[in-house]
Amino acid sequence: MREYYDDRIVALSARLVTPFIQLFALYVVFHGHYSPGGGFQGGAMLAASFLLIRLSIGTEAAQMQFRRSWGTPGSSIGTLVYLGTGLIVVFLGVNFLDYAGLPLGLPEPELRNTGILLVELGVAVAVAATLTAIYDDLVGERPATHHAGLEDEATPTEEADQVAGPDEAGGAPDA
Amino acid sequence: MRRLVLLVLITAAGLLLYGIAELPDRAAPDAPPNTEESAAGTPNAANYYVENAYEDTETPNMVTATLADYRGYDTLGETTVIFAAGIACLLILRRSRE
């Protein structure tokens, strides 16, 4: 199976489109209070932008955008943000997930508004990281052969080693 | 066997269609979800959400207010399901490094 289509036009257009997808994903997350949208939808769009880069220039080069090792911690952090928002108010003496007890010093309706935003942010982070992590797990790790349209002068094997380097945490001492 | 499956499927479809025929019209004022009290005599939660969502949360999108505030516990469960899916893929698919 070929992991990505090695083409300069595909790589450049994916890189051109990705920031706009991410901007719109953030809009969907933050505008979920006023229009259809929210954490799940925005997180899925964010994951789509990560996967677009992975599909167009390959997983190894996409490590510069969203590292493979960020997937599982990201989904944990997102879920913990949600759970933490619910648990903080328990320690301050109100019910679980009752945002009126958040220690922010705002009137109660605005506290609930802020609580909804925090929760949606947690959901967005969790969904984006989890979907990217599932893709990475499905593709698996394999040595990269070459990159499309990034740095043309570097020899392919050397650069692949550099990109995969920080992920390996004391791997082969070949230097 | 094949005929038995067909018979069961047709019976199930007939039962479902019979059930649909008894449903109230869309947005009928006397339909159970739209009344002030539920069939058990308790106040209907959906009416409370529709009437008070903006005053309680200052969130114009009623769906978001219901999803993340009134029914926040349910959404926490959904997020946990996503998280569990990610962990399951990690455990099953990711090969450990020798």
C-alpha distance from residue B62 to each of A86, A118, B50, B52 (Å): 20, 17, 7, 9
**Is A101 inside any structural domain?**
yes
Q: Which residues of B touch A122 (CB under 8 A)?
A: 79
**Is A62 inside any structural domain?**
yes
**B43 backbone dihedrals φ, ψ, rounded to 5°:** -60, 145
Q: State the best of A75, A90, A96, A168 to mutate against chain B, taking most chain B CBs within 10 Å.
A: A75
Give SS3 for B44: coil
- Identify residue B45 by its one-letter amino acid code: A
- Identify residue A111 by its one-letter amino acid code: L
**Is A36 inside any structural domain?**
yes
- pTM metric for this prediction: 0.77
Q: Count how many pairs of residues, chain A against chain B, have C-beta atoms within 8 Å.
A: 99
Question: Which uninterrupted H or E stretch holds B51?
Answer: helix B45-57
Q: Which domain holds residue A57?
A: 8-142
**Is A162 inside any structural domain?**
no
Structure confidence at residue A166 as a pLDDT band (50, 70, 90): very low
Q: Which of A66-70, A89-93, A123-127, B46-50 has the lowest mean pLDDT?
A: B46-50
Number of domains in chain A: 1
Indicate the angle between helix axes B45-57 and A108-139, nearest 10 degrees. 100
Q: How many residues would you count in chain B?
A: 98
What is the model's pLDDT at position B5?
96
**Is A32 inside any structural domain?**
yes
Of B56, B82, B83, the CB nearest to A112: B56
pLDDT at B93 over 80: yes
pLDDT at A170 over 50: no
